[in-house]
Amino acid sequence: MTRPIALVGLMGAGKSSVARILGERLGVPAVDLDLELEAASGTPVARLFARDGEGAFRTAERAALERVLAAGAQVLACGGGVVLDPANRAVLKSRCRTVWLEVAPGEAARRIAPDGPTRPLLGKGLPEERLNELLGARAPLYAEASELRVATDARTPEEVAAEVLRRLEAAPA
């Protein structure tokens, strides 16, 4: 692999699951950026958000992205909001083969329902509505940062991982 594979997209798109499968298929470790942040801070992401605010979280996220890439990460599952920072978008575009895992807000809401309380940006109200708002704001940013888009609705993580690999091999960097 010439450049690491980075997965971006809305929460519930399957980034963590697909990254793990890609890592297994490629024989490299997969890194989950949110888990890296939690390990570095000793605090769950939801608590980091609540305690420090989104601005501080995004600063820590930027540092974590740089750190894992410098350490040689080959497959990376990014947090859903990583694209909000222009510096992150530039890093993802220039240093990674970034793939936007697309998911419909309704499907994402169904997938994350069991762990909804740990998702700091869902807030109160209907998750599907909030996810629709997030997608509306982030879609142009996901598109800007990504080389490819792969739909995940009605597909297993294994099917998505296979599609990601097929598409990346068909479009060499």
- Determine whether the annotation assigns residue 94 to a binding site: no
The sign one gets for the Cα dihedral 133, 21, 144, 34 is positive
- Determine whether the annotation assigns residue 116 to a binding site: no
- Determine whether the annotation assigns residue 146 to a binding site: no
- Determine whether the annotation assigns residue 16 to a binding site: yes
- Determine whether the annotation assigns residue 14 to a binding site: yes
- Determine whether the annotation assigns residue 155 to a binding site: yes
Counted residue by residue, the chain has a size of: 173
- Determine whether the annotation assigns residue 15 to a binding site: yes
- Determine whether the annotation assigns residue 58 to a binding site: yes
- Determine whether the annotation assigns residue 34 to a binding site: yes
Q: Quote the CA–CA distance of 128 and 154 in Å, as a whole number.
A: 17
Please list, in sequence order, all residues whose beta carbon lies within 8 angstroms of the beta carbon of residue 71, skipping any fewer than 6 positions away: none
- Determine whether the annotation assigns residue 81 to a binding site: no
Annotation: binding site for Mg(2+): 16
Annotation: binding site: 12-17, 34, 58, 80, 119, 138, 155
Annotation: binding site for substrate: 34, 58, 80, 138
Annotation: binding site for ATP: 12-17, 119, 155
